[in-house]
């Protein structure tokens, strides 16, 4: 292989770049604790701006007797339905591992401010809604103590990025690379965070390994039925807590990483977003797009991924107007 993912997204093997990123991610997670403790607010509950897992309101904080009805939870910039009101634009990453995306390169607070400007370039006829796509479960090249070939990002790091998202009125997407764990189990491990109205899920099926497979050596895969299971689980959370739309993104680098795609069915309150994930020139990326969206199931929304470094290595980064010229027009644009 040539060290990059094919722009057409047709290969069944994994280029060496994926193994490098897996190792980088594994090394980056070792620095997460230090990254978190460098910010004194990481240990706080965050007040009303997103306390996160394990931080429930004190029992002494009872509602005012004058309140007769609690306001229904809203999306970060208002309303309860994502589409067609908003266009999502975000950065992906992990602090301490800049090779994994823009969000982990430099000061996260500065990246969030930059992301707002980027989102406005894509707004067009919709309202911009920035997204922080944080790697919450990262595939590893080694099995670890439980043999799952994955590491979970500490709660204090998720809390820090949830607070950053709230400061910017943005969505937080928790990205999951399951390793040999299951996607549904990893989503369930994040349930406390998913009870928030501004937190959704992104899945990376290429890192969803079967028995005997090692992250970085080959592409993993997920089935339409498994995606439905995750979608149904999120729909249950939405219903239980009367939440607004909670997005479920799945990044697709090749046809092979999603099996039985026709079996996918949207669940109430859970917009399903298929994100075309391929590296290369604008022409190659358009080819990947056409291949992946052709015959897409009804009710599935579209996403498109851009790579600041890899796309520019052999060509150039696509401009917003070029991305918006794709058909169907992407409803989520993510930069890695």
Bigger pLDDT: 239 or 219? 239
Least reliable range by pLDDT among 225-239, 269-283, 304-318: 304-318
pLDDT in tens, 163-177: 999 999 999 999 999
CA distance 60 to 266: 40
Find tokens 């080959």 and name the residue: 218
CA distance 91 to 111: 8
CA distance 279 to 8: 8
Give me the pLDDT at residue 23, please.
47
Who's near 39: CB < 8 A, 6+ residues apart? 160
Give me the pLDDT at residue 4, please.
33
Residue 64 has pLDDT above 50, yes or no: no
pTM of the model: 0.82
16-41+83-335 is classed CATH 3.20.20: yes
Give me the pLDDT at residue 104, please.
66
pLDDT in tens, 124-142: 999 999 999 999 999 999 9
Residue 300 has pLDDT above 70, yes or no: yes
Structural tokens at position 15: 């280029």
- Mean pLDDT across 87-115: 80
Q: Where are the domains of the chain?
A: 16-41+83-335
Which H, E and C letters describe 244-271, residue by residue?
CCCCEEEEECCHHHEECHHHCCCECCEC
pLDDT in tens, 259-282: 999 999 989 999 999 999 888 899
Structural tokens at position 281: 């020139």
pLDDT in tens, 18-58: 444 544 445 545 444 333 323 323 333 333 333 344 333 33
Give me the pLDDT at residue 2, please.
31
- Mean pLDDT across 94-113: 75
Give me the pLDDT at residue 200, please.
98
Give me the pLDDT at residue 295, please.
84
Least reliable range by pLDDT among 26-35, 94-103, 286-295: 26-35
Query: How much of the chain, in percent, has pLDDT values that exceed 70?
Result: 77
Residue 86 has pLDDT above 70, yes or no: yes
- Mean pLDDT across 295-306: 92
For residue 37, give the 3-state DSSP assignment.
helix
Question: Cβ of 287: how many Cβ atoms within 10 Å?
Answer: 18
């Amino acid at each position: 292989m040539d060290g990059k993912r094919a722009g057409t997204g047709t290969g069944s093997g994994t280029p060496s770049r994926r193994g490098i990123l897996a190792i980088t991610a594994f090394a980056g997670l070792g620095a997460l604790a230090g990254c978190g403790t460098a910010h004194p607010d990481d240990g706080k509950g965050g007040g009303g701006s997103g306390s996160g897992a394990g931080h429930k309101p004190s029992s002494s904080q009872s509602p005012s007797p004058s309140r007769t009805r609690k306001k229904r939870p809203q999306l970060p910039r208002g309303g309860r339905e994502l589409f067609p009101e908003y266009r999502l634009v975000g950065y992906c990453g992990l602090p301490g591992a800049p090779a994994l995306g823009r969000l982990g390169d430099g000061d996260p607070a500065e990246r969030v401010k930059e992301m707002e400007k980027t989102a406005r370039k894509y707004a067009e006829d919709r309202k911009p809604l920035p997204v922080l796509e944080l790697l919450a479960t990262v595939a590893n090249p080694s099995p670890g103590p439980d043999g799952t070939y994955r590491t979970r990002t500490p709660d204090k790091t998720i809390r820090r990025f949830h607070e950053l998202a709230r400061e910017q009125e943005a969505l937080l997407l928790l990205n999951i690379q399951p390793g040999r764990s299951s996607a549904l189990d990893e989503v369930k491990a994040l349930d406390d965070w998913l009870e928030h109205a501004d937190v959704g899920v992104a899945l990376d099926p290429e890192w969803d390994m079967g028995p005997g497979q090692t992250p970085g050596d080959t592409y993993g895969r997920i089935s339409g039925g498994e995606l439905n299971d995750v979608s149904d689980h999120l729909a249950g959370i939405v219903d239980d807590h009367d939440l607004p739309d909670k997005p479920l993104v799945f990044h697709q680098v090749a046809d092979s990483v999603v099996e039985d795609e026709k079996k996918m069915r949207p669940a109430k309150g859970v917009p399903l977003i298929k994100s075309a994930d391929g590296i290369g020139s604008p022409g190659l990326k358009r080819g990947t797009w056409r291949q992946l969206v052709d015959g897409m199931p009804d009710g599935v929304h579209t996403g498109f991924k851009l790579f600041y470094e890899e796309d520019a290595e052999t060509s150039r980064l696509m401009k917003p107007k070029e991305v918006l010229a794709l058909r169907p027009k992407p409803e989520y644009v993510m930069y890695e």
